[in-house]
Amino acid sequence: MGAWPRGLVQRPSQWVRTLSLAAERWGLVHTRVWSGPVGGWKPAVPRSSELWRHPEQCLTGIVLLHLPRSAFSSGPAMERQVQRLRQTFRSGRSRPLRFRLQQLEALRRMVQEREKDILAAIAADLSKSELNAYSHEVITILGEIDFMLGNLPELASARPAKKNLLTMMDEAYVQPEPLGVVLIIGAWNYPFVLTLQPLVGAIAAGNAAIVKPSELSENTAKILAELLPQYLDQDLYMIVNGGVEETTELLRQRFDHILYTGNTAVGKIVMEAAAKHLTPVTLELGGKSPCYIDRDCDLDVACRRITWGKYMNCGQTCIAPDYILCEASLQDQIVQKIKDTVKDFYGENVKASPDYERIINLRHFKRIKSLLEGQKIAFGGETDEATRYIAPTILTDVDPNSKVMQEEIFGPILPIVSVKNVEEAINFINDREKPLALYIFSHNNKLIKRVIDETSSGGVTGNDVIMHFTVNSLPFGGVGASGMGAYHGKYSFDTFSHQRPCLLKGLKGESVNKLRYPPNSESKVSWSKFFLLKQFNKGRLQLLLLVCLVAVAAVIVKDQL
């Protein structure tokens, strides 16, 4: 390269000094610093194939980190830490509403005060520009925290429950209560938001929590391990960093809920481990999210929105459109419009764009590249192993039985599969595992709702992609092979809460209660049916009560006269 990467300040000595100090402060084992177009990346230790990055890939000049093993990787040590959190939870410290709000405010303060450090870590892991890192991850966390701060008093309050005739004089309500100690296992593709957004719900619900960030996004994992103990109660909220060994030890422990974000294979392992303790799980998995484009559609708008959602984060988004279903006559138009949009978004040289990320590691790079073998590439297809760059790519005339259609792509490859009509598209979707997301583009709302009614998926967006994730009044989760359970907004609170039914009775009215005591009789059964099964029209019942009150009042007035 003959120039500094775009977005990097033109003062290399200052950057090297600043980043080295940051690395020293974070206690890193290995570092890489960008020293300019001649020197390139300077290692503090010999090159590592897993850590070495080309300057083109790290467009903002970030130190690369090597994540040290957790101090709690052994079984007894991990068990002691879980018990420590459980003891604090049992003390009742996390239950008061005021405490929960204070912790949420502290988390918000952490994001705001250490924004630059957080953005730098995300950028180093995924070669994101700071603007992309902020818009893809940080802004979502701030919105989630603000929602909880504004709605937590209502969410945590007891809700009155409907009563029957036998309990109409009693108090019946549902009281949300925290579950206990929960485990949150984050994902590497959006390492900040997919780790902290569930934590917001766990804190709001009054739980203690252990957070396990993905070891693949090691820079973000490292900064979270540094920052969370500075801002949150260390006896209730804990970070565990590491890889398979640490995660395995965590899963041996007993938790009151586990939320895992990642792939289906590991999701099965998590569920199997949880079953040993009867621990409920929320699994946010993935799948091949289809995108149907109807011929009655604004193709310019559809292709622009699909291009944005598919190639954002280099295709490494669990709800990115995985493939397109459309009539054969639309295929060439779609290819051309996506090509034009890619140029508008990323310029003539996509590889040099600060808005286009890279594949997380070499293993995923090789897996994605292998999906191109034997395919008809209508656009893109360029790869660079040294920088883990894969260009935005479109495949046409794709065989539904080919390898690229058998697994979630999780990369910037977009297959187009031809179908004759919407009926065939619906059957194509239903013949496969239920996806995490489904997208339909059409001017015809009846057609969109027909596809929704006749298919199943974790979520749906009509005439756009991904945007249902941003609405925190909607639950986010999968179904079938794409996961179970949901979170976001109030649904996060509900996921980490037990909805406890409460009925408070008085010690009077025993004449009615005798109906349920032995010995039984036909008369008792008849009265029980009346009290428990009789349905009343609420409006008429209120009118009857009003008439009775008027009659009683009339009698009282008459007596006084």
Helix (H) or strand (E) holding 424: helix 422-430
Query: DSSP readout, 225-278?
Result: HHHHHHHS-TTTEEE---SHHHHHHHHHS--SEEEEES-HHHHHHHHHHHHTTT
| 50 annotated active-site | no
Catalytic residue among 144, 218, 246, 284: 284
Show Cβ contacts of residue 530 under 8 Å, excluding neighbours closer than 6 positions.
165
Residue with tokens 């079953």: 275
Strands 413-418 and 323-326: parallel
Helix (H, G, I), strand (E, B) or coil at 439: strand
Burial 240-269, CB ≥16 within 10 A → b, else e: bbbeeebbebbbebbbbbbbbbbbbebbee
Residue the block writes with tokens 């204070």: 102
The sign one gets for the Cα dihedral 361, 128, 190, 437 is negative
How far CA 145 is from CA of 103, 108, 312, 375, in Å, comes to 10, 7, 24, 45
Reported as half-sphere exposure (CB side, CA atoms, 13 A), residue 417 has a value of 23
**Cα(434)–Cα(480) distance, rounded to whole angstroms?**
6
Asked whether the beta carbons of 23 and 15 are under 8 A apart, the reply is no
* 76 upstream amide cis, omega within 30 of 0: no
Cα 233 from Cα 311, distance rounded (Å): 38
Q: Which residues are catalytic?
A: 284
